[in-house]
Chain A
Amino acid sequence: AQTVTQSQPEMSVQEAETVTLSCTYDTSENNYYLFWYKQPPSRQMILVIRQEAYKQQNATENRFSVNFQKAAKSFSLKISDSQLGDTAMYFCAFLDFSGNTPLVFGKGTRLSVIA
């Protein structure tokens, strides 16, 4: 069974600084997706960024980028120029290509952006 581990329960960062959230996963699959979701205090879960495992190029979405290390089974999220609106819980998630298993989430990292 796949597992996703987020080793940082809480982090904080100063506004305009850069922060990196860690995520590791365990799987025997070769084809899969990885996701980062953001859940602000409003509770709406928002897709931040996705990465297909067969793509070597790291995904980027504006201020959000990932460092995907397939061999190390690591998938970290970098937030550049942090903004107060980035304050949220961040969940790393894994989905294999088979469609036979559901999305697997990590426990989350609570990020606070400080003015």
Chain B
Amino acid sequence: KAGVTQTPRYLIKTRGQQVTLSCSPISGHRSVSWYQQTPGQGLQFLFEYFSETQRNKGNFPGRFSGRQFSNSRSEMNVSTLELGDSALYLCASSLVDSIRPLAQYFGPGTRLLVL
């Protein structure tokens, strides 16, 4: 089975711009979660989507948004980029057993640099 894929792998933007990152989960996985990883803050949860619905949301401003499509692919969008948004953005997918998620499998990440 193919793993979780994320595009693009690297991105350079300037302050004030917006960016859209894409994540394709492992086939059959319906839950997709997004994380931001920075040296200072570590791994921080952004949001989780299951069956096109946001199930959980982390403590990030409204500039961070996401969605999930019917094929379980997910996108996250960051508007009005700030320097502090520079980070590695990780996507993870998982199977869901009734309502609970199981182990999450991560993609390679998108490294975003905001200048």
Q: Which residues of A are in contact with B by a Cβ distance under 8 Å? A: 33, 35, 37, 42-47, 50, 91, 95, 97-105, 107-108
**A44–B29 alpha-carbon span in the complex (Å):** 18
What residues of chain A lie closer than 8 Å to B90, measured between beta carbons? 45
CA distance A97 to B111 in the complex (A): 31
> Are A102 and B99 interface neighbours, CB within 8 A?
no
Bound complex: CA A102 to CA B36 (Å): 13
Q: List 20 A-B contacts (CB under 8 A).
A: A35-B103, A35-B104, A37-B106, A43-B88, A43-B109, A43-B111, A44-B107, A47-B103, A47-B105, A99-B55, A99-B99, A99-B101, A100-B55, A100-B56, A101-B56, A102-B48, A102-B56, A102-B58, A103-B104, A108-B43
Chain B: minimal CB distance from A110 (Å): 11
A-B complex: 5 closest residue pairs judged by Cβ atoms: A45-B106, A99-B100, A102-B45, A105-B43, A99-B99
Determine if B33 is an interface residue (Cβ-Cβ < 8 Å). yes
Across-interface contacts of B100 in A (CB, < 8 A): 97-99
B61 contacts A by Cβ under 8 Å: no
Does residue B76 face the partner (Cβ distance < 8 Å to A)? no
The number of chain B residues touching the other chain, given as a range, is 20 to 34
Nearest chain A CB to B89 CB, angstrom units = 11
Residues of B that sit less than 8 Å from A by CB = 33, 42-43, 45, 48, 55-56, 58, 88, 90, 92, 96, 99-109, 111
Contacts A46-B106, A99-B96 given: A107-B42 contact, CB under 8 Å? yes
How far, in angstroms, from A107 to B96 measured CA to CA in the complex?
26
Partner of A47, one of B33, B88, B104, B111: B104
Contacts of A91 in B (CB 8 A): 43
Assembly CA distance A105 to B111 (angstroms) = 20
Q: Within the complex, what minimum Cβ distance (angstroms) separates A66 from chain B?
A: 14
Smallest Cβ distance from B83 to chain A, in angstroms?
21
